[in-house]
A = this chain, B = another copy of it.
Amino acid sequence: MAKKNKSAISPTREQDYSGWYQEVVKASDMAENSPVRGCMVIKPWGYAIWENIMHQMDVMFKETGVKNAYFPLFIPLSYLEKEAEHVEGFAKECAVVTHHRLEKDGKGGLKPAGKLVEPLIVRPTSETIIGESMARWTSSYRDLPLLLNQWANVVRWEMRTRMFLRTSEFLWQEGHTAHATQMEAQDRTMLMLDVYTKFVENYLAMPVIRGRKTASERFPGAEDTTCIESMMQDKRALQAGTSHFLGQNFAKGSDIKFQNEEGEEGYAWTTSWGTSTRMIGGMIMVHSDDDGLVLPPRIAPTHVVILPIFKKGEDKRIIMESAHSLKDELEEKFFHERKVQVEIDDRDIGGARGWDWVKKGVPVRIELGPRDIEDNSVFMARRDEPSSKKQSKNRKEFIDQITKILDNIQDNLFNRAITHRKENTFEIDDKKAFYKLYKNTGGDKNGAFVMAHWCGSEKCEEKIKKELSVTIRCIPFDSPTEEGRCISCDNASSRRVLFAKAY
């Protein structure tokens, strides 16, 4: 399994980060581009990861009282027309259904027929149609809060796509809640950001910075957009989740009214919040290395792969029996409410076998040969450590320690990501240093996370974005009040904000 001086993934991160990313996705067998422009096929390995993500988030949502529902795939054109802000956003690039039939075109092919009176849009989000339902379902304060979530596919036509990060069709969840009071809706906004934070940090092992967006980066119609931002290995930021307080704006647009206990009619206060398969792209870019995918154990479809080693002249059956009993014993253990998942790979394909599982990111690989069986030991490799650290372990001890080992890998990945972020986050007060850091000349191309002062003007924000392709990712909640001067205009500023290049 030990190749030297050569990585399994080519190009490496250093050679071509973007090429490396695509190659990791491909080599891990997670997904591939489909013949349909902009759409990907999520293969079993990638989908199993998404299933684990969905399952865990769903449990966490339900613990807060959220219920799932399902709304139509299609949105009538008139719904988008009502919401002027949408036209500027999602609606610009979307899939438009104009016909409901196919008929023969007389040249051996087919052509669209049965023109619809009103075109339908394949949902870029279900916001408008959920709003319409909420309006129908809400008449009294007794009907509130409405705490809804939907797991579904959505479509936003994309010209340049990258698997998981940006595809025309993607899978996501969108939560929408309606409340009787402003306070309750604001609390819900933060509660869901907390859920996202816990999930992304504890399961995907991605440390995040929590904060609010500036006015210009806010979701259209939101009064407050909160987000979690994570640093990738190339030092760019990726937004892993977002939760919006919509005030009464959305309720007014969708006519979500109710009578309070005193019989007075008013608009509800709403929130929305979402995450998508994009998280998987983030997870890949935070943990993976030049040998391929590295999976946090808590989200890995398989925790342990057993690779039986067959030697010439030896009885295969004895080794396979030993492998199966090892699998059975491991699968009696629980790792964070899931059984420990074990696979045995007995394919006779030489060294490629071990590398397959390295590239797929399985946390623990076990080689099991005749000598190991004789010694009552196993030969263990951890995906978070270099292959050179492979070690022989007493079989019983290994079984007893498996959940500890997995926890240790999980923590190690998180801590590594924290260290990487710390090493690449700087407080900068000097404009020249700021510009040098982010300019191709003189600095790292992607720079770093920079905590710098900002006066609060959109003009300064825009200028930096235009000149450096750097945006304010968020105003971190834990950024203390502190006197300073804006990194762009030198005017007074009262707190630092987080700057970065972003995905």
Residues of A within 8 A of B (CB): 34-36, 39-44, 47-48, 50-51, 67-78, 80-81, 87, 91-102, 104, 108-112, 114, 119-122, 129, 132-133, 142, 148, 152-153, 155, 157, 169, 171, 347
Report Cα–Cα, A72/B121, bound state, in Å. 17
Nearest-Cβ distance from residue A141 to partner chain B, whole angstroms: 12
Report Cα–Cα, A133/B133, bound state, in Å. 38
**Partner of A72 from B41, B70, B87, B108 at Cβ < 8 Å:** B41
Tell me the nearest residue of chain B to A100, going by C-beta: B157
**Partner of A48 from B35, B68, B87 at Cβ < 8 Å:** B68
Please judge, given known A-B contacts A96-B98, A96-B102, whether A87 and B110 are in contact too, CB under 8 Å. yes
Nearest-Cβ distance from residue A139 to partner chain B, whole angstroms: 14
Residues of B within 8 A of A157 (CB): 100-101, 114
State the oligomeric state as a number of copies.
Answer: 2
Provide 15 A-B residue pairs closer than 8 Å at the C-beta atoms, listed in order of the A residue: A34-B129, A34-B133, A36-B74, A36-B75, A36-B129, A39-B73, A42-B69, A74-B169, A77-B110, A80-B110, A87-B102, A87-B104, A97-B98, A102-B121, A153-B153
Closest 3 A/B residue pairs (Cβ): A39-B72, A44-B67, A42-B70
Interface centre among A36, A42, A108 (most CB of B within 10 A): A36
**Partner of A35 from B76, B148, B169 at Cβ < 8 Å:** B76
Report Cα–Cα, A410/B42, bound state, in Å. 38
Nearest-Cβ distance from residue A127 to partner chain B, whole angstroms: 14
**Partner of A92 from B75, B96, B102 at Cβ < 8 Å:** B102
Residues of B within 8 A of A93 (CB): 100-101, 114
**Partner of A100 from B50, B94, B110 at Cβ < 8 Å:** B94
Tell me the nearest residue of chain B to A103, going by C-beta: B92
Please judge, given known A-B contacts A96-B101, A101-B94, A122-B122, whether A44 and B73 are in contact too, CB under 8 Å. no
Residues of B within 8 A of A68 (CB): 44, 47-48, 51
A120 touches B96 (CB 8 A): no
B110 touches A81 (CB 8 A): yes
Report Cα–Cα, A47/B122, bound state, in Å. 21
Tell me the nearest residue of chain B to A152, going by C-beta: B153
